[in-house]
Amino acid sequence: MLGKPGEKVLLMSNEAIARGAIESGLDVAAAYPGTPSSEIGAALARVADKFGFYFEYSANEKVAMEVALAAAVSGLYSMTMMKHVGLNVASDTLLTLAYTGVKGAMVIVTADDPSCHSSQNEQDNRYYGLLGNLPVIEPSTPQECLDFTRYAFQLSHELELPVLLRTTTRVNHTSADVVLGDIQQKHEAKFTKEPTRFVTVPAVARARRLWLLEQMKKAWKIAEECEFNRVSGDGKLGVITSGVAYTYLSEYVSREKLECAIFKLGFTNPLPENRIVEFIKKREQVIICEELEPVLETRVRAIAQKHGLNQKIHGKMDGYFPFEYEFNYEVVAKGVGKVIGKPHIHEKTPSGVQVPPRPPVLCAGCPHRATYYAIRKVTKGKAIFSSDIGCYTLGIQPPLEMADLLTCMGASIGNANGLSKVNPEPVFAFIGDSTFFHAGIPALLNAVHNGHSFITVIMDNSTTAMTGHQPHPGLPLDALGKEAKAVSIEALVRGCGVDYVKVVDAVDIPKAVEVYREALQVGGVRVVISRSPCALLVAGEKRKKGEKIGRYFVSQECRKCYVCINQFACPAFYIEGEEVRINDGLCLGCGACTHVCPFGAIKGGD
């Protein structure tokens, strides 16, 4: 990332996006972390001081977008980046931001997650470009991530519109050799009052709507000329494609020595309509090859209809490609093969040996396991568990099974409002510290004001763990590791009007059990802050300081009741023959299991 212009270095696409922004003279960036976009923020945080731009982790995506918006209307070059569902949170800002536009430049990275590798849905955010009248740029490779980010900044400045840079997991998390470019000057901030542009009262909004439509006409002209919309090859068969699908298609075409023309689109909203017409006219058949929704296909079909073209068009809508999940070579080969009458068959090779599944589980030493274990002990599972987005969602796995409903960030508390109103069982809402700051607060004060009755457990592990340990407003450090004011969760909860607030040490299971037992006896909105830092952070700190991690082992006193495995299920435990053992490569020395063993057989820790 820090190399010189012209140098070739190994970069993950997310780092390439960060580098592309820096090369464009990035002044301000803000983000809330979310897979698969998180490494962009991590990369920027590492070099913000060196290059002299401002970077922050914001409380949520909406705030992040507003920080970037404000910089861009003040004449600066800004970027915000988020996972696909993060853009839902920021969409209120986005769709009016298009009306005011920007003065400097603003790039919004939306990282979609086909196959839901680490997400709760599979939405295709190219639709936001159509919904909001915003230009959309889609890179396919790490080099394109750098080049297209630079282009997106230029385009944004030229059109005075924010530009969506749309990636998918497989693009974000691919690394390759990338050639670095030169670094442009940063910009001067100057806010000029222009209420007829920036204050979107109805009269202004009506006028700006016309402006926006005009800008998108200009964007169309640019898309027609854009070098990132390019045709290669020739033939009676044509394929229109974008994103990572392009890479599989090119490999298929080269392996099969297929005679065809490929129209690779990098600028996908607005579409280069004239060039698409020209492309289709030269073919007998055209295939649209894209992941997720038929965003290109519906529009290419509409363009063909508008221009009276009779060529056959194939895609998802007539069953050649799936709507669901990410593409790979096999999916592309199967779809194209079907069109050209060359069925792609690759025999699957299932393993004859049964392969035990290895689903993601809470880490060894994770304090969330202790929290769940204590609550399961008290409730015996006879309660409704409203879950949220974070590592603790993994409590869904047996034997804990502590997740009954999961929607989106902050919804554990919002859903608990309704669940507790209509169901007789006790209701628990589980939410992490970072997620509570992000979207939990309005739902909590709603519960207080409307008189709902449930227990919110804020599982405070002092970090945003799942996305790679980013800080949040509850910590005394900011994105760059500098001192920051920590916002107290207790004070915040009390400020929301909650009277019943308890703090427990998650790992001290016996004490926690007492607190949950007591909380169940009272009504109203109750908040228990279950606190213990992420085990990976603790172990990392100890390693850094050269301190020993005090691991545990199972002593002779073990009576093989297997409670540690059957009910607690820390992945450091395993059975060898009849014996229970602890894998000392996995044990992080939290000691929670010593409270779980009824015979005191688990020893060590020093």
Partner 1 sequence: MNILLCGVGGQGIILASQVLGEGSIKIGKHVVISEIHGMAQRGGSVYTFVRIDEGDAPIPPHGCIDVAVSFERIELLRYLDFMSGETVVLINDAKIPPIGVSLQKKPYPEIEEIVAEVGKITAKILHFDAEKLAMEAGTKLAVNSVMLGAIAALQGFPIPKAVVLDTLLSKLTEKVREVNRKAFESGYEVAKASTAGHPLSP
**Residues that bind partner 1 in the complex, under the rule CB under 8 A:** 8-10, 35, 117-118, 140-141, 169-171, 173-177, 244, 247-248, 250-251, 254-255, 328-330, 333, 346, 348-361, 363-364, 391, 393-394, 398-399, 465-466, 536, 565-566, 569-571, 573-575, 583, 585-586
Among all chains, which residue has been given the structure tokens 């919110």?
456
The residue among 118 and 285 lying less far from partner 1, judged by its C-beta, is 118
The residue among 185 and 254 lying less far from partner 1, judged by its C-beta, is 254
Q: How far is the CB of 397 from partner 1 (least distance, A)?
A: 8
The residue among 177 and 225 lying less far from partner 1, judged by its C-beta, is 177
The residue among 6 and 357 lying less far from partner 1, judged by its C-beta, is 357
Q: How far is the CB of 411 from partner 1 (least distance, A)?
A: 18
Q: How far is the CB of 555 from partner 1 (least distance, A)?
A: 18
Give Rg (Cα) of the chain. Answer: 27
Q: How far is the CB of 251 from partner 1 (least distance, A)?
A: 5
- Residue 482, helix vs strand vs coil: coil
Q: How far is the CB of 539 from partner 1 (least distance, A)?
A: 10
Quick one: tokens of 301?
A: 């079909």
Q: In whole angstroms, what is the distance from residue 595 CA to residue 605 CA?
A: 13
Beta-sheet pairing, 579-582 with 285-289: unpaired
Alpha carbon distances (Å) from 239 to 118, 262, 274: 30, 5, 16
The residue among 323 and 574 lying less far from partner 1, judged by its C-beta, is 574
The residue among 4 and 348 lying less far from partner 1, judged by its C-beta, is 348
503: alpha, beta or left? (left if phi > 0; alpha if psi -120 to 50)? beta
Q: How far is the CB of 361 from partner 1 (least distance, A)?
A: 5
DSSP string, 385-424: EE--SSGGGGGGSTTT---SB--STTHHHHHHHHHHHH-S
Q: How far is the CB of 354 from partner 1 (least distance, A)?
A: 7
DSSP string, 548-605: ----EEE-TT-----HIIIII--TTEEEETTEEEE-TTT-----THHHH-TT--EEE-
Among candidate residues 470, 447, 474, the one with its CA nearest the CA of residue 460: 474
The residue among 269 and 461 lying less far from partner 1, judged by its C-beta, is 461
The residue among 140 and 435 lying less far from partner 1, judged by its C-beta, is 140
Q: How far is the CB of 333 from partner 1 (least distance, A)?
A: 7
Beta-sheet pairing, 136-137 with 163-168: parallel
Among all chains, which residue has been given the structure tokens 């009052």?
193
Q: In whole angstroms, what is the distance from residue 571 CA to residue 588 CA?
A: 11
The residue among 195 and 357 lying less far from partner 1, judged by its C-beta, is 357
Q: How far is the CB of 415 from partner 1 (least distance, A)?
A: 21
**Going by C-beta distance under 8 Å and a sequence separation of 6 or more, which residues neighbour residue 215?**
101, 133, 159, 160, 161
Q: How far is the CB of 359 from partner 1 (least distance, A)?
A: 7
- Residue 28, helix vs strand vs coil: strand
The residue among 12 and 22 lying less far from partner 1, judged by its C-beta, is 12
Interaxial angle between packed helices 13-23 and 38-51, expressed in degrees from 0 to 180 and rounded to the nearest 10: 40
Q: In whole angstroms, what is the distance from residue 107 CA to residue 70 CA?
A: 13
